[in-house]
Amino acid sequence: MTQGKILLVKPSDVYPVTKKGIYNRTWMPISLANCAAMLENEGFECKIVDAHADRLDIDDVAKDAKEYDKIFVTSTDIERWECPGTDIDSFIKTSQECAKVNPNVYVIGVHGSLHPQDIIEKTHAKAVIKGEPEESVLEICQGKDLHEVKGISFKNGTSEVINNEKRKPMDMTILPTPAYHLLDSSKYFYEVLGKNFALFEGSRGCYYGCKFCLKEMFGNPVRSKKPEQMIKEVDEAVTKHGVKTAQFIDLEYTLNKDMYMPVLDHLIEKNYDFKWCCQARADNLDEELLVKMKKAGCVMILCGIESGSEKTLKSIRKGLTLEKVKRGIATAKKVGIDTCCFFMFGFPGETKEDMKETIKFTKELNPTYVSFHDLIPHKTTDFFHHKDELDNHDLAVKMRRLGYLHFYLRPSYIAGRLFRKDILNIGRQLKLFWGFVK
């Protein structure tokens, strides 16, 4: 007999690019799949509604909500825990409409974690789950008194919001394989990698202390799954659920060698029709490791460089130098792995000349792809305390657009992509590029 019926919702968002330059990818909501897997292990019946992937109207989601005992709506899944967007209208409206037909609505994600009182008021939710959601979701569904559930904020029949004790970072080894059977891999894709796309998560947390980075959802210290967990997840996704491409979403993949080396060995042995990418710092790109990653199916590495100005890199406590970046990206090129480098504009004290240095550096570095973003000083980051000093936002927006124009419209870049016969990716990239600069 089922313990109850639980609905987990990822709201629809603007696709592909918002007016503020945020790209809303169509990626699997893995944190919801984690929650569903834990709930199913305890006898609950679960459904995941990905309104973003299915392009569902808010009313369609709300109609579905009537039939469930509890509903959980997320403002941000794992891929947005570090860099959430600021346009959450769809999340707010989805939560409100669900609450109209079912009072048992709870919300998950960065926005509620940072601003619990504001989000409770706006969403009409029964409670906000702050930080990692899995254990709190399970306890709520099991009927635990809200006063006793760590890591949540809720109203107790009054206008006062009660903020419970913070939950400790979870032990990653207790997570079951995500409920891939509740998601259709054919709906998900990464424009520069391909279709039938999934996310794999081997660890949470980061060893570094960049001033702009939002870590509220991850907690510290860095925690990892066991190698056998990851091997089981990859095997199940690839052999049972049609996954052909994926990203290992860990904030720093290459430092987790004890966990990932056995996974790489397994992928090399299996030789699946499967290619993947990961995130890593440019100064951690070791040739021996990269050669093994390539053999295991890695085709791209995503690196947060942030700036092409040494002065700016030092001021944001990135711990990188431009020379280290050049060496790392050159090593990846030598091995034959594509690179996507991320840069930001709008740091405190950053001048137009500093931003020009960044654009110039991207062309010298010449990775496979670049992505430019504006600084958002989120609460709990060092830069939040200096948000009143940020007077260069309009300039940052202008320079972001200029950066895309200068990088992607170079004749040498276009010729290089054509030489690789990479017509499909050129089309995808131009689509995204136009979304950012229009």
355's CB contacts (< 8 A; 6+ apart) are 345, 395, 396, 399
The token pair at 385 is 């305390």
228 and 294, same domain (yes or no): yes
225 and 342, same domain (yes or no): yes
Q: Which domain holds residue 385?
A: 184-437
Q: Please, what is the angle between helix 411-419 and helix 423-437, to 10°?
A: 150
Residues 372/344, Cβ–Cβ less than 8 Å: yes
The token pair at 102 is 């079912």
Residues 325/278, Cβ–Cβ less than 8 Å: no
pLDDT in tens, 279-334: 999 999 999 999 999 999 999 999 999 999 999 999 999 999 999 999 999 999 99
158 and 217, same domain (yes or no): no
Choose among 100, 85, 79: nearest CA to 32. 79
What CA–CA distance (Å, rounded) separates 241 from 182? 10
pLDDT in tens, 88-108: 999 999 999 999 999 999 999
Other beta carbons within 10 Å of 238: 20
- Please check whether residue 106 lies inside any domain of the structure: yes
123 and 241, same domain (yes or no): no
292 and 194, same domain (yes or no): yes
Per DSSP (E only), the strands in 307-396 are 338-345, 369-374
What CA–CA distance (Å, rounded) separates 71 from 106? 6
Other beta carbons within 10 Å of 316: 24
Looking at residue 250, what is its pLDDT?
A: 96
pTM over 0.95: no
Q: What is the dihedral of CA 50, 232, 70, 161, to 10 degrees?
A: -90
- Please check whether residue 169 lies inside any domain of the structure: no
Residues 107/119, Cβ–Cβ less than 8 Å: yes
Residue where a domain terminates, one of 132, 163, 194: 163
44's CB contacts (< 8 A; 6+ apart) are 2, 3, 4, 5, 6, 141
What CA–CA distance (Å, rounded) separates 230 from 402? 41
- Please check whether residue 168 lies inside any domain of the structure: no
The token pair at 414 is 């276009």
Residues 253/279, Cβ–Cβ less than 8 Å: yes
Looking at residue 156, what is its pLDDT?
A: 82
How many domains in the chain?
2
Looking at residue 383, what is its pLDDT?
A: 82
User: What pairing do the DSSP bridges indicate for beta strands 223-224 and 203-204?
Assistant: antiparallel
115 and 234, same domain (yes or no): no
- Please check whether residue 380 lies inside any domain of the structure: yes
What CATH number did the domain enclosing 151 receive?
3.40.50.2300
144 and 246, same domain (yes or no): no
Looking at residue 1, what is its pLDDT?
A: 59
209 and 275, same domain (yes or no): yes
253 and 327, same domain (yes or no): yes
- Please check whether residue 177 lies inside any domain of the structure: no
213 and 108, same domain (yes or no): no
What CATH number did the domain enclosing 209 receive?
3.20.20.70
158 and 200, same domain (yes or no): no
Rg (CA), the chain: 22
Other beta carbons within 10 Å of 262: 15
What CA–CA distance (Å, rounded) separates 301 from 287? 13
Residues 128/94, Cβ–Cβ less than 8 Å: no
Choose among 362, 382, 378, 379: nearest CA to 370. 362
100 and 190, same domain (yes or no): no
pLDDT in tens, 164-202: 999 999 999 999 999 999 999 999 999 889 999 999 999
- Please check whether residue 310 lies inside any domain of the structure: yes
Residue where a domain terminates, one of 133, 163, 193: 163
CA dist 156 → 114, 140, 146, 167, 242 (Å):
20, 15, 9, 20, 45
Signed CA dihedral, 249, 256, 317, 380: sign only:
positive
- Please check whether residue 172 lies inside any domain of the structure: no
The token pair at 210 is 């960049």
Looking at residue 237, what is its pLDDT?
A: 98
Other beta carbons within 10 Å of 289: 20
Report the 3 state secondary structure along 314-327. HHCCCCCCHHHHHH
Q: What is the dihedral of CA 349, 353, 358, 361, to 10 degrees?
A: -140
Please list the ranges in the chain whose pLDDT falls under 70.
1, 19-21, 388-389, 419-438
- Please check whether residue 173 lies inside any domain of the structure: no
